[in-house]
Amino acid sequence: MTHADWLRAVAQHQSVAHGAGHDHVPGSPHLRHAALHSRVVTACRSVVADVLRERGSCRVLEIGAGHGVFTDHLAALGAEVWVTEMSRASVDVLRSRFSGYERVHVVHDEDGTGVARGPEVDVVLYISVLHHIPDYLGAVTAVLDRVAPGGAFVSFQDPLWYPRRSRTSLLADRGAYLLWRLTRGNLRRGVASMVRRARGAYDLNNPSDTVEYHVVRDGVDEQALMAVLEPRFATVDLHRYWSTQARWLQWLGERIAPANTFGVVATGGRP
């Protein structure tokens, strides 16, 4: 699966499925579970509020904003926000939702990486996005050139790199995924997806194999991401946690399951 193949497939799937009326919540733990949602909101609001206190204004680049759930919080703080989406359908939703907000600018980002040219910003946000991007390290490296000195980088809700995780962590993660599929009435889809992943035979016509690109290259390498960020920021904090779709499995996993997901907050951008 080449990058170009992936790009065309993802753009097609998202344009069909992610328009008005699409509900991101059931398959998005950071939207579905209050504790996870609060974790992301708190991190975003904290870095933006810090910039606002220091400078009196804050310019935010939110990459892959979906339907703007987190954009609302940024705009409420008084930040000027550029939100990007590769899905034309999602762009239409965002433009309608924020039509009355002069400080929210919606950008159609055709390759989904957010590295297209634009203004210098104080904060970059990737919320549940990096695992969709084939060359996520290259995308982050490029977009950091747009971060002003003293700025920040926030990314949350990406799967930890599989080869570094324990067998227990991987089994708990996959078991929770299949149980969630069972409660949704589409266990067969989940099993078929896992079989294709085990065989390395991906179907460009199936959103499970294209949109969730992390399965192609074993998650997101959190240490490699830290290595990109550390030379550029004074402080880089890694947050590991448990995340899954089903509510009761989230409650149970938070208490007994090993971490399978991570977030990064980097502050004090260097010139």
CATH number of the domain residue 241 falls in: 3.40.50.150
If one counts every other C-beta atom within 10 angstroms of the C-beta of residue 226, the result is 15
Distance in angstroms (rounded) separating the CA atoms of residues 123 and 170: 33
Q: Are 78 and 48 in contact (CB under 8 A)?
A: no
Number of domains in the chain: 1
pLDDT value at position 81? 96
Coil, helix or strand for 81? strand
Domain that holds residue 176: 3-269
Stretch (H or E) spanning 85: strand 80-85
For 197-215, what is the mean pLDDT? 64
Per-residue pLDDT for 232 more than 80?
yes
Per-residue pLDDT for 261 more than 60?
yes
Per-residue pLDDT for 15 more than 60?
no
- Highest mean pLDDT among 165-174, 186-195, 257-266 belongs to 257-266
Q: Return the minimum-mean-pLDDT range out of 18-22, 71-75, 171-175, 181-185.
A: 18-22
For 33-48, what is the mean pLDDT? 95
pLDDT value at position 222? 97
For the entire predicted model, the pTM comes to: 0.86
By percentage, how much of the chain surpasses pLDDT 90?
52
Give the pLDDT band of residue 224 (cuts 50, 70, 90): very high
49-106, pLDDT tens digit by residue?
Answer: 999 999 999 999 999 888 889 999 999 999 999 999 887 888 888 999 999 899 999 9
pLDDT value at position 200? 66
As given in the structure block, the two tokens for residue 88 are 């034309």
Distance in angstroms (rounded) separating the CA atoms of residues 119 and 153: 16
For 97-124, what is the mean pLDDT? 85
By percentage, how much of the chain surpasses pLDDT 70?
76
Distance in angstroms (rounded) separating the CA atoms of residues 227 and 141: 11
Coil, helix or strand for 58? coil
